[in-house]
Chain A
Amino acid sequence: MSKPEEGNKSVNNEPVTRGRESLVLSSSQNMRGLIYALLGKWSLLTVAALSIVAIILIFVFVSKNAYPFFKEISILTFLGTNDWHPTSTDHPSYGALASIVGTVYVTINSLLVAVPIGIFTAVFLSDMVSHKLRNIIKPIIEILAAIPSVAYGFFAVKIFAPWLQNEFGMTTGTNVINASIMLAVMALPTIISVAEDAISNVPRELREASYGLGSTRAETMFKVVLPAAHSGIIAAVILGMMRSLGETMIVWMAAGNALNIPSPWWDLSQSVRTITATIAGETLEAARDTMHYYSLFALGVILLMVTFVLNLVSEYFLRKAKIKH
Chain B
Amino acid sequence: MKKLMSLIIVATLIFAGFAQAESLKIEGSTTVGPIADAFAEYFKSNLGISDITVTKNGSGNGAAAIADGRADIGIMSRFMKDKEFAACVSKGVMPVAHVVAMDGVCVAVHPSNPVKALTIEQVRDIYTGKITNWKDLGGPNLAIVCITRDSASGTFETFEGLVMNKEKMHDKTEEVASNPQMHSRISTTKGAIGYLGLGFVDYKVSALTINGIKPSRKTISSGAYPISRPLFMFTNGYPKLGSAVHKFISFHLSEEGQEIVETKGFVPLTDY
Contact = CB atoms under 8 A, between A and B. Distances in A.
Interface stretch (A120-128, A165-173, A298-306): A165-173
Nearest to A288: B57
A88 interface: yes
A260 B145 CA distance: 13
B51 to A, nearest CB: 26
Interface string A245-281: 0000000110011111100000000110100000001
A157 B181 contact: yes
A85 B173 contact: no
Contacts of A260: 171-172
Contacts of A281: 150-152, 175, 177
B224 interface: no
A162 interface: yes
Nearest to A98: B171
Nearest to A87: B151
Q: DSSP class of A's interface residues: helix, strand, loop or mixed? A: loop
B74 interface: no
Given A172-B145, A287-B58, A282 B151 contact: yes
Interface string A153-176: 000011001100100000111100
Given A161-B185, A165-B189, A285 B152 contact: yes
B166 interface: yes
A308 B202 CA distance: 47
Contact of B152 (A82, A88, A256, A282): A282
- Residue of B150, B174, B177, B191 with most partner-chain A CB within 10 A: B174
A146 interface: no
A287 B60 CA distance: 10
A23 interface: no
A171 B191 contact: yes
A48 interface: no
Contact of A256 (B30, B150, B174): B174
B185 A171 contact: no
Nearest to B151: A285
A90 interface: yes
Given A85-B168, A281-B152, A282-B151, 12 more contacts: A82-B171, A88-B166, A98-B171, A157-B181, A165-B190, A171-B191, A172-B192, A256-B175, A258-B175, A273-B175, A281-B177, A285-B30
Interface of A: 82, 85, 87-90, 98, 157-158, 161-162, 165, 171-174, 252-253, 256-261, 270-271, 273, 281-285, 287
18 contacts: A88-B168, A161-B189, A171-B143, A172-B191, A253-B176, A257-B174, A257-B175, A258-B173, A260-B171, A271-B172, A281-B151, A281-B152, A281-B175, A282-B151, A284-B30, A284-B150, A285-B150, A287-B60
